[in-house]
Amino acid sequence: MVTGIKQVANDQLHLPSDTLSSDIQKLAFDALSNLAKQFSRKPDFHNLMEVFILILSGQFSVTSAFVIIQQISAHPEDQLFFSIGKRSNSKDLVNIKLSKDLATYFLNNNAPQRVDKMDLSGTLASLILVLKNNHIKLVAPLIHNDNLLGLVGLGEKVNKKPFADAELELLAALINAVTPLISNSFLFMEIANLNAWYLEVLNNVEQGVFVFDSDNLLKAINKTGFDILKTFRSDLPDIKQLKDHPIETIFPAAVFPDWGYQLNRARSEKLDKLTINLTAKQDDRDFIYRAHVRSIFRENEYRSDLIITLVDITFQRENEQRLFDLQKFAEKGLLASSISHELNNFLGMLLGGLEMIEFALNENNSEKVNATLEQLKTAVDQMTRFTAGLMDYGKLSTSKRKANLNNLIVDVLSFVSVQKKFKSILIHTELDKNIPEFEMDTDQIAQLLLNLLNNAADAIEEVKNDEGWILVKTVKESNFVNLSVSDNGVGIEPDIKEKLFKAHLTTKVNGHGYGLITCAVISENHHAHIEIDSEPGHGATFSIRLPIDTID
């Protein structure tokens, strides 16, 4: 092939013009074919350009050649430089920029040009000096879709002869034939590099990422996602072999119960995004994953991809449960001290009453005996009510059962009303008698109410209100019961209100913030919702909306 082109160049004056044009076209197509075969064997853009430069230098017997390619990227100044020959490492050539001015010039002068015949002015005038200093004799633009893709430069010929017109025609034919291939190959490599970069990013994401097409077939999965599957399915094939498998195969029901249905809800219910907790089973242990599902629509709303990210929250949930248990025991320890104090008060009352009866009997004062006995009966009734409240509150079982919320509230209030911190506070109740019995964990609801009551008492104490009051209210609303605790204490600042149930946050000097965290956990266990209505200096209302038909 090289010999044939040399022969065309040497014998150009002896060939008819139509024959010359035909041979040049054939040689250009041969060069294009060779380059295409080379790229198909090894789809490497840098290798393609090195072969292209070798073809140029061989075709025209030049001592040096270079090609500059403009990168298709967010940074147009990024360029690729390829060269061969004596001037291959010239910094002047490497630093040639395919500027807008240069692009405008070559779009208007798109044929190969002899450097000594170029007419450049202004900011481009220095380019001629750079080219001449590096013995570049010919330059030709690579133009594709009316854009300057790159620039080709050829050094002087080995035999020192000038380039003939036929050689310029040959160079133009070669460049016109090869430029679309270079452009498409470069775009292909940029897309391949971009895909590889995205895959590298996905593989370094800590969440498992899965992408399913509109037919629920797996399109992509990252390494973390594959590791999640391998945790439960050691027999999985290579990650690449999972592509095009249906969602039911990726998440089989035996290990991932109901995952296929739950994950497909975003598409079936036409939701933009969905966040759910899913459970996977391995032997006797359950693993909990938080799944974020997004539906990305393509041609129309009926064809969408599902992008699913999975985060293992098993350890987090186990820690939350341990913390809840520790909080519960810690709070029971604090309560035990208070209970001991109150029981001692009751015992002191009983002992004092017995001493008074003994004194009255010695004086044969039957009226005094009877009056004291009535007082003791009242004290015993109070103590019985107090201990009954403790029995309801103190159960360790967390299972739910049907119970009367209003009765539970009365029991808890009976428990707190005898405590010192509540003696100067007037406690009101407005309990809706239409509330039916419903499933609840009486232990947890009592603890939630007790925490809210203690917070209300502390808020009243903080504001030094001598006329402090607490209102406990229940209202039936359709399939819900609204339980609220209001006070006329210090109130809550707006920026604090939004964070109370999200961290160990407290506004008390010696507080730890566990109480409201416990309230949040109990509320979640009952599928309830907590709201706070408060203005600083005007008290606060905590409302818990409990579903009557609780779904476990």
Tell me what pLDDT residue 406 has.
93
User: For strand 285-297 and strand 304-312, is the pairing parallel, antiparallel, or unpaired?
Assistant: antiparallel
Residue bearing tokens 């009243």: 460
| pLDDT classification of 511: cutoffs 50, 70, 90 | very low
Residue 122 is classified by DSSP as: G
74 has pLDDT over 70: no
pLDDT in tens, 361-397: 888 888 888 877 877 776 676 566 556 555 444 443 4
Selected residue with higher pLDDT from 37 and 448 = 448
Tell me what pLDDT residue 442 has.
82
Task: Please state the rounded mean pLDDT for residues 239-267.
Answer: 83
Task: Please state the rounded mean pLDDT for residues 260-287.
Answer: 78
Task: Please state the rounded mean pLDDT for residues 321-328.
Answer: 62
Selected residue with higher pLDDT from 374 and 202 = 374
Most confident of 70-79, 488-497, 541-550: 541-550
Q: How far apart are CA 537 and CA 552, in angstroms?
A: 39
User: For strand 426-431 and strand 469-477, is the pairing parallel, antiparallel, or unpaired?
Assistant: parallel
| pLDDT classification of 502: cutoffs 50, 70, 90 | very low
Structure tokens at 45: 């853009």
- Cα–Cα distance list, 213 to 6, 57, 202 (Å): 55, 49, 18
**According to DSSP H, which parts of 204-273 are helical?**
223-232, 247-250, 259-263, 265-268
Tell me what pLDDT residue 441 has.
85
Quick check: 248 and 260 in contact, CB under 8 A?
yes
Tell me what pLDDT residue 319 has.
66
Q: How far apart are CA 436 and CA 433, in angstroms?
A: 8
Selected residue with higher pLDDT from 268 and 440 = 440
Q: Which of 9-13, 310-314, 387-391, 516-520 is predicted with the least confidence, judged by mean pLDDT?
A: 9-13
> What is the edge-to-edge ordering of all strands in the sheet holding 285-297?
218-221, 208-212, 304-312, 285-297, 273-282
271 has pLDDT over 90: no
DSSP H/E element including 392: helix 366-393
Quick check: 518 and 327 in contact, CB under 8 A?
yes
Q: How far apart are CA 355 and CA 358, in angstroms?
A: 5
What residues have CB less than 8 Å from 47, skipping those under 6 apart? Answer: 38, 39
pLDDT in tens, 203-220: 677 788 888 888 889 988
Burial bucket for residue 366 (CB in 10 Å: 0-12, 13-18, 19+): exposed
Task: Please state the rounded mean pLDDT for residues 492-496.
Answer: 71
| pLDDT classification of 317: cutoffs 50, 70, 90 | low
Tell me what pLDDT residue 504 has.
39
Q: Please, what is the end-to-end C-alpha distance for the chain in angstroms? A: 79
Most confident of 105-114, 166-175, 541-550: 105-114
Q: How far apart are CA 305 and CA 296, in angstroms?
A: 5
Number of helices followed by number of strands (H, E) in the chain? 17, 17
pLDDT in tens, 419-459: 677 888 999 999 999 999 999 888 788 878 888 888 898 88
Task: Please state the rounded mean pLDDT for residues 66-72.
Answer: 82
Task: Please state the rounded mean pLDDT for residues 489-515.
Answer: 54
